[in-house]
Amino acid sequence: MTPSANDLLAIARRYWGSDQAYVFRQERTAEDLRYEALWEEKNSERPRWGAFVKTLREALPGCDARDYTPPLANPSFGALVYPPYERIMHKPRFIWTVAGYLSILAPVYTVHCVRHQYLGKHCLDSKVFLGPAPLELRGIADTVARHIEAEYGATALPLEVAQTPVPLYVNFMKPPETTLFHALFTSEPWNIP
């Protein structure tokens, strides 16, 4: 069962500050210390997550699946799946990524898509699709979701709950833009390699 927005906000408040003053202090806040301690504990699960990403590679032949869990940057384990694409060097092209995040704060996950527009090796634009995956990526997104549910027992965070505004500062995200999505998964869903 998915926790309510209020339950998730209460969890997020333990790890993210509600004022901007902490940004300018050198000492660590109580939230910082709890977040760092949680990551220290969760780091022991990194081999399991690596094995999980390997199972995604096997389940999605033709795609490239990679671990995307930058230390302390996101409150989640991440997996990026790159579907095959045509390499065209001198024309703009779109490259899609399916991103699956398993929160370390609550037993919830999300799967979303990111479309990067490239010209040669230069990224011109990135767009995030938090709602249903585009039709051509739905099979990949469903596979990522099924594997997270089967391996970790987490439940998908509904989009309407994920988009709930929260009065928290999450990395460089600040109110009123901050949502539960940012507090539980990543503050920069478009910023992936």
Residues 132-184: pLDDT tens digits?
999 999 999 999 999 999 999 999 999 999 999 999 999 989 999 999 999 99
Examine residue 49 and state whether it is found in any structural domain, yes or no: yes
The first and second tokens of residue 115, run together, are: 């479309």
Confirm if 79 and 67 have CB atoms less than 8 A apart: yes
Examine residue 189 and state whether it is found in any structural domain, yes or no: no
- The confidence score (pLDDT) of residue 28 equals 85
Examine residue 96 and state whether it is found in any structural domain, yes or no: yes
Q: At what angle do helices 138-152 and 46-59 cross, to 10 degrees?
A: 140
| Other Cβ atoms closer than 10 A to 86 | 7
Confirm if 161 and 49 have CB atoms less than 8 A apart: no
The model's pTM is 0.94
DSSP state of 20: G
pLDDT per position as a tens digit, 50-93: 999 999 999 999 999 999 998 899 999 999 999 987 665 566 68
- The confidence score (pLDDT) of residue 81 equals 97
The total number of structural domains that make up the chain: 1
Map residue 168 onto helix, strand or coil.
Answer: coil
Examine residue 193 and state whether it is found in any structural domain, yes or no: no
Please state, in angstroms and rounded to a whole number, the distance separating the CA atoms of residues 165 and 40.
28
pLDDT band at 11 (very low <50, low <70, confident <90, very high): very high
Q: 188 vs 72, 92, 153, 173, CA distance in Å?
A: 13, 24, 25, 8
- The confidence score (pLDDT) of residue 25 equals 67
User: Domain span at residue 31?
Assistant: 5-184
Examine residue 104 and state whether it is found in any structural domain, yes or no: yes
Paired with 113 in beta bridges are 98, 129
Examine residue 191 and state whether it is found in any structural domain, yes or no: no
Cα–Cα nearest to 183, from 91, 119, 101, 117: 101
- The confidence score (pLDDT) of residue 89 equals 58
pLDDT band at 113 (very low <50, low <70, confident <90, very high): very high
Examine residue 113 and state whether it is found in any structural domain, yes or no: yes
Examine residue 139 and state whether it is found in any structural domain, yes or no: yes
* List of long-range contacts for 126-129, beta carbons under 8 Å, 24+ apart: 126/190, 126/191, 127/190, 128/189, 128/190
